[in-house]
Structure 1
């Protein structure tokens, strides 16, 4: 993990959240930390907790106006991972690559842990490169 300043620490991020979101955010980020594959680096800022592959954001937790949002970029890029989450929780509040929730119980944590663990850094970077190459080819 990168060295954090007192204002950019995990505890400062959690403390800045509304009281009812602090424990769900803490528990979810501990799950992310426990399951993220080797090679990713954790970055803690005022607006996001994130794991990156080099400079590429892979996972991020953000506080939104009325909910927490876990951004899982591999879910956006690899449809099979998205299908695994939706199979585990058909009513999951999900955007293209983000899971929106207020309580941890709303998330399929076992399936989420599997999805996070399933994306090695090398696979993630290869998918990012492929997506960028495809984007340039259609421009």
Structure 2
């Protein structure tokens, strides 16, 4: 499901009412724990957290006019999905998250490369997401992004 929203508040107001409080809590968890420097807004029709052009003028290599994406979340038909580029780009962070998840949820982890799907929206492990948010600074994300970009261009 895609919402045509102009702000995070607008996005949340468009989702089904039974999901709005959960999305507000997820948004607050991210905003309270993400290191300084990331900005919040609408990116790719989701609530996104990204490195603004004022910090990283190059933007996203696939679309330089877009700021460098880092995290986002969306309300989908059957789940709430959290996307975290650091989990995809950093094997140690991925390993940490996969190992920590069972300590915070009695349900099986449903995860793709950078996407964590929460089908039971009342059982989102907000404390784990809060900790995940603290694991990478803007500078660390830019360094990891540039390293992975250089390595992919060498192939």
Asked if these proteins are the same fold (TM beyond 0.5), I'd say: yes
- Segments of 5+ residues of structure 2 without an aligned counterpart are 53-66, 103-107
Question: Structure 1 64/83 Cα, relative in aligned 2: closer, same or farther at 3 Å?
Answer: same
- Segments of 5+ residues of structure 1 without an aligned counterpart are 1-6
Q: Which moved more, 1:82-91 or 1:128-137?
A: 82-91
The residue number in structure 2 matching 1:102 is 119
Instruction: Please report the RMSD computed on the Cα atoms of aligned residues, expressed in angstroms.
Output: 1.8
Asked whether the equivalents of residues 69 and 98 of structure 1 are also in contact (C-alpha less than 8 Å), the reply is yes
The residue number in structure 2 matching 1:18 is 16
Task: Describe the superposition over 1:13-72 as per-residue Cα deviations: whole angstroms up to 9, x where unpaired.
Answer: 111112222121111111000011011111136821111013111010112222111111
The residue number in structure 1 matching 2:57 is none
What is the CA distance between 1:106 and its match in structure 2? 3.4
Asked whether the equivalents of residues 13 and 45 of structure 1 are also in contact (C-alpha less than 8 Å), the reply is no
Question: Within 1, Cα distance between the matches of 2:121 and 2:137?
Answer: 25
2:84 is the alignment partner of 1:72 = yes
The residue number in structure 2 matching 1:88 is 100
Task: Choose between structure 1 and 2: higher helix proportion.
Answer: 1
